[in-house]
Chain A
Amino acid sequence: MPTGAFSTLLYKETLRFWKVGFQTVAAPVLTSLLYLLIFSHALEAHVRVFESVSYTAFLVPGLVMMSLLQNAFANSSSSLIQSKVTGNIIFVLLPPLSYREFFAAYVLAAMVRGLVVGLGVWLTTLWLVDLHYAYPLWIVVFALLGGAILGALGVIAGIWADKFDQLAAFQNFIIMPLTFLSGVFYSIHSLPAFWQTVSHANPVFYMIDGFRYGFFGQSDVSPWISLAIVAICFVVLSALTLLMLARGYKLRG
């Protein structure tokens, strides 16, 4: 049992999802596995995005990253909205926690869940596909940054939403389209010019493209451009989240 305020909140947020691991870890891993089986079965013979990389292999990093991102968002957002609706948020508002500690604990716990689910997807797909690991450091960097960004976005959504359906709207109308239309299942080079332009405005595209570069050494855009955009997103979203927390927006009346 940790003893500092920050480490206790991080521990509690991690324990919270771990206690319902079937719902928070096993279920999204299974969902990703089903995506892989269905899409690879349907498209393996018809689509080849990179030379020397099978479609199934191409799909795996995208699915790993999509699961990671969606679950990082789900962890912080669902924890906060549940705590707000049930009222037990006061147990973390009464103690001497700073808003920075609050932010760091929720975002790190979100990253932990995202990474655990992403790791689960990767491990269960190992027997289906022979992956390459061209630049492992890029894999780690984009996984961490992607988890942190969606964790911070989850904090924003969890604080902003007053009701579960508002959070569901945030998830269904913002997070899902951003993650599904980010090149998980295809290369954006296969899209018409207009949709390629639209895709370039989607920050999740850069997270997945950079992550995939770590596996295959090939990507739609330079990994350095992806890294710069993802890093800027992280800084901007973190600043916004910290500002909301510092002002006590919807948390401290």
Chain B
Amino acid sequence: MTPAIRVQQVTKRYGAVQALAGVDLEVAQGEFFGLLGPNGAGKTTLISALAGLVRASSGQLEVMGHDVVADYRAARRSLGVVPQELVFDPFFTVRETLDLQSGYFGIRNNGAWIDEILDELDLTAKAGANMRALSGGMKRRVLVAQALVHRPPVIVLDEPTAGVDVELRQGLWQFVRRLNRAGHTIVLTTHYLEEAESLCGRIAMLKAGRVVALDTTANLLSRSSTHALRLKLGNGGSLPAELEARVVAREGGAITLGFDRFDEIGGVLERLRASGVAIDDMEIGKPDLEQIFVDVMRAS
């Protein structure tokens, strides 16, 4: 099956800055794909190159098999982009904005689908309101609606929940999950790694314009030995010397020990008891994407 997105050896240079340094990626149709990286890693540049907002210095990008330069009309019809910035045209109402966006994609009689999107995004009551009169969260939802008016098979969300309250964030993710279940390919960039962990089936991590990790979320999580045991020892007790090798962090009187397997924790507790060390507080943590992300960024 044709990949939803294919990126081959893409580079992008802005003067002395190498924003993309040979990116290779494929996203299959129907995937929920995460694109992670620190600020300046090249995520937005890559998305912009896919959307035709910037031109790659070299390499090839395709959306649903359509080259974004040679076959830009078909590529752009296949792609919906929710931009990172909260942008809007202050001259128009919500419905006018969506009608115009439909027209740009050559779609006639799109009223029923626009009504459905407005309803799904809880914007029906604001359809006649000028864009300037909307709250930040509502403007963000209109951006989502604009990206969907032409029913694109591939939807890119560039940090859609930045500065968004919890309720809207949850509502937005429910809606995006439904779109994904309906067959839409979703590409998400976010700095909220817990969101990426819970939503994305596969993740690429970018650093300095290169892909430094690309795997399923489950495989990425299993890479690390960070089953973590966080302890606060009582009565000025100190950790037995043979456990020092497991220490991954010391912070505010708490010691964090790392494990490959969950069942190793029992042995450690046994050793502490045998040494007569009292435990004031204890917390067991699963490996999380944030730790993996930090590890990958440090290692690369």
Contact = CB atoms under 8 A, between A and B. Distances in A.
Interface of A: 1-5, 7-9, 11-12, 15-16, 19-20, 83, 86-88, 90-98, 248, 252-253
Contacts of B107: 3
Contacts of B146: 91
B87 A96 contact: no
Nearest to B103: A8
Interface stretch (B46-54, B197-205, B273-281, B285-293): B46-54
Contact of B53 (A4, A86, A90): A90
Interface stretch (B3-11, B73-81, B187-195, B253-261): B73-81
Nearest to B105: A95
15 contacts: A5-B106, A11-B100, A15-B92, A87-B83, A87-B87, A88-B87, A88-B88, A91-B87, A91-B89, A92-B104, A95-B104, A96-B72, A96-B74, A96-B104, A253-B12
Interface string B97-110: 00111111111100
A1 B103 contact: yes
Nearest to A101: B104
Contacts of A19: 91
Given A3-B103, A92-B104, 5 more contacts: A1-B99, A3-B106, A86-B87, A252-B55, A253-B55
B122 interface: no
B87 A8 contact: no
Contacts of A83: 89
A2 B107 CA distance: 9
A86 B92 CA distance: 14
B103 A94 contact: no
Given A90-B83, A90-B87, A253 B53 contact: yes
A2 B103 contact: yes
A5 B85 CA distance: 24
B104 A7 contact: no
A252 B106 contact: no
A5 B103 contact: yes
Contacts of A96: 72-74, 76-77, 104-106
Top 5 nearest A-B pairs (CB, nearest first) are: A8-B103, A253-B54, A95-B104, A96-B73, A87-B87
- With most chain B CB atoms within 10 A of its CB, the pick from A16, A96, A98 is A96
A5 B48 CA distance: 21
Contacts of A90: 53, 81, 83, 87
Contacts of B83: 87, 90
Contact of A5 (B74, B87, B104): B104
Given A4-B106, A8-B104, A88-B88, A94 B54 contact: no
Contacts of B51: 93-94
Nearest to B48: A253
Contacts of A3: 102-103, 106-108
Nearest to A93: B53
B53 to A, nearest CB: 6
A84 to B, nearest CB: 11
Nearest to A98: B73
Contacts of A97: 104
B105 A91 contact: no
Contacts of B90: 86
B104 A87 contact: no
A16 B104 contact: no
Contacts of B100: 8, 11-12, 91
B76 A4 contact: no
B108 to A, nearest CB: 4
B89 A88 contact: yes
A11 B99 CA distance: 11
A92 B76 CA distance: 11
Contacts of A98: 73
A9 B55 contact: no
Nearest to A96: B73
A91 B54 contact: no
Contacts of A12: 92, 100, 103
A9 B104 contact: yes
A97 B85 CA distance: 22
A91 B103 CA distance: 11
A155 to B, nearest CB: 18
- With most chain A CB atoms within 10 A of its CB, the pick from B14, B53, B81, B146 is B53
